[in-house]
Amino acid sequence: MREEGGYTKIIEALERLGAPGKQEEHIAAYDPNGGEDNKRRLTGLHETAGIDKFTYGVANRGCSARIPRMTEKEQKGYFEDRRPASNMDPYIVTAKVCETCVLPDFA
């Protein structure tokens, strides 16, 4: 993702995060109460995405995942999943994102 041409990999990863069933699976893993905390937070208001639909966009803080403007400009970089709650377990969230975005390339 951070190498030349990595923007294509970023879009592939985001499409995997938005695949059918993945939104619910990730929301359940993104807070220690199985998604209940995120139901109160992810309302679609105040620079948050709605809890029911995965979205992504460039420099859009209202999406589930944000692509920084510089990443789009340079066609490499990173994306930011904005859904995990602040009380999430970083090991569970990292494992879930890696399982969805990276491991399919090695299957």
List the domains of the chain with CATH numbers: 7-106 (3.30.590.10)
- Per-residue pLDDT band at 107 (split at 50, 70, 90): low
Q: What's the pLDDT tens digit per position in 13-30?
A: 999 999 999 999 999 999
Q: What's the pLDDT tens digit per position in 63-103?
A: 999 999 999 999 999 999 999 999 999 999 999 999 999 98
Q: What's the pLDDT tens digit per position in 35-53?
A: 888 888 888 788 888 889 9
Q: What local confidence, expressed as pLDDT, does residue 90 receive?
A: 96
C-alpha 29/C-alpha 98 separation (Å) is 13
C-alpha 59/C-alpha 66 separation (Å) is 6
